[in-house]
């Protein structure tokens, strides 16, 4: 991210998560309770979540960058309290003298960062690795992504997040922009209500078995201007930037733009989207297999990004592993976890794609003020329609 820069800090059981977002244009109406907290609640929802979501009631607090309900152009800082901190204050204290450590974790969990991170950073108490690697960190991403969605909205771009495959059950159900509230009402964030009983049964069975389940989620944006990103260098291609951001999310193991994987299996005549022109509509395509991106540049169609989430690595029926202190065989450590977090992952994927898309928008049209952003986007849309 070149124009809109995002950083976060904080541990899963530390006192707070801190979000720093630099490059937010001045004049953006931003009230956390209205614009950020609803997305944090969506991230905490979904069928199959664990007890941590009962403990935490996430809300963002502005520390810098907003005055009188509008951004100032200065770096934006948000804070999210970890309410579970009160139970971990002694264990997670930064003060010296805490040896032997309480709740030390030495039995590496397969599929998690524990062993590789312990070796990389020289930790034998793997909690020093897992506390930052935990998916609790995604609350920071969602808070930052909520701000990015506000920036995009000022440019006439709308985003959505849904589940298209969960627990081995297809649940695409098609996209319906007029029924986005139905996604919030669904415990699986899908329009395909006919699939919900089958998904619920599989999640319930996995919970009884001490197992976990994954799925496929989609972030989609409409109203995206033509011309975001570039074909001129590898690191300017927007599809590459989106893929990196999504692949950085915990448990995400695959990304496709549009019908990426399906497109690899059929002839080009069944892949590429024909182009037409109408005096009223301008250029348009009757299909969108490319997912709104061609050669790293947005083409004006809906931007569609899908991501594959593997099952969560912490199992209540643990897999075999090794204790990194004794080197003896052991059962993997068990931390409080979810059976599945696929609906929540859709919100995180939306947040990360929104951050990249907002960055590309500000890169093209300027990051100083929301007023200038709106004017320049409108002028560009008129130019593209008349091209």
Residue 180 in this model has a pLDDT that exceeds 90: yes
* CB burial string 75-110: b at 16+ within 10 A, e below: bbbbbbebebeeebeeebeeeeeeeeeeeebbbbbe
Residue 56 in this model has a pLDDT that exceeds 90: no
Query: Residue 128: is it exposed, middle or buried by C-beta count within 10 angstroms (0-12/13-18/19+)?
Result: middle
| Average pLDDT estimate for 354-362 | 98
| Average pLDDT estimate for 151-160 | 98
State residue 52's pLDDT score: 61
Share of the chain above pLDDT 70, in %: 97
pLDDT in tens, 69-102: 999 999 999 999 999 999 899 889 898 876 667 7
Cα–Cα distance measured from residue 197 to residue 98, given in angstroms and rounded to the nearest whole number: 48
Assign domain 5-386 to its CATH architecture.
Answer: 4-Layer Sandwich (3.60)
State residue 100's pLDDT score: 65
| Average pLDDT estimate for 33-51 | 92
Task: Say what the pTM is.
Answer: 0.96
Give domain limits for the chain.
5-386
State residue 51's pLDDT score: 65
pLDDT band at 208 (very low <50, low <70, confident <90, very high): very high
pLDDT band at 54 (very low <50, low <70, confident <90, very high): low
Cα–Cα distance measured from residue 198 to residue 267, given in angstroms and rounded to the nearest whole number: 34
pLDDT in tens, 265-299: 999 999 999 999 998 888 999 999 999 999 999 99
């Amino acid at each position: 991210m070149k124009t809109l820069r995002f950083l976060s800090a904080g541990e899963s059981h530390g006192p707070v998560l801190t979000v720093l977002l630099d490059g937010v244009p001045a004049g953006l109406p931003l009230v956390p309770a209205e614009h950020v907290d609803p997305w944090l609640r969506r991230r905490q929802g979904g069928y199959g979540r664990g007890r941590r979501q009962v403990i935490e009631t996430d809300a963002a607090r502005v520390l810098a960058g907003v005055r009188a309900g509008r951004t100032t152009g200065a770096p934006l800082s948000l804070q999210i309290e970890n309410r579970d901190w009160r139970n971990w204050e002694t264990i997670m204290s930064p003060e010296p003298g805490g040896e032997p450590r309480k709740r030390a974790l030495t039995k590496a969990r397969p599929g998690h960062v524990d062993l590789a991170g312990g070796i990389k950073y020289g930790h034998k108490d793997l909690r020093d690795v897992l506390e930052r690697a935990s998916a609790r960190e995604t609350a920071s991403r969602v808070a930052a992504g909520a701000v990015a969605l506000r920036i995009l909205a000022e440019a006439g771009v709308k985003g959505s997040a849904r589940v298209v495959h969960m627990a081995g059950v297809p649940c695409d159900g098609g996209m319906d922009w007029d029924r986005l509230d139905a996604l919030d009402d669904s415990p699986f964030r899908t329009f395909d209500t006919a699939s919900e009983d089958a998904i619920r049964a599989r999640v319930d069975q996995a919970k009884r078995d001490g197992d976990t389940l994954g799925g496929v989620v989609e972030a989609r944006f409409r109203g995206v201007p033509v011309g975001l990103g570039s074909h001129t260098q590898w690191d300017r291609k927007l599809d590459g930037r989106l893929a990196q951001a999504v692949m950085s999310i915990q448990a995400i193991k695959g990304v496709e733009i549009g019908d990426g994987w399906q497109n690899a299996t059929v002839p080009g005549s069944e892949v590429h989207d024909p182009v037409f022109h109408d005096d009223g509509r301008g250029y348009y395509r009757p299909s969108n297999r490319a997912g709104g991106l061609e050669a790293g540049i947005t083409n004006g169609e809906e931007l569609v990004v899908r991501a594959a989430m593997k099952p969560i690595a912490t199992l209540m029926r643990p897999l075999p592993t090794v204790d990194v202190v004794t080197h003896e065989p052991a059962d993997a450590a068990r931390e409080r976890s979810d059976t599945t977090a696929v609906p929540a992952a859709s919100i995180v994927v939306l947040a990360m794609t929104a951050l990249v898309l907002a960055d590309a928008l500000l890169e093209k049209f300027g990051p100083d003020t929301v007023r200038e952003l709106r004017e320049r986007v409108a002028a560009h849309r008129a130019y593209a329609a008349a091209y």
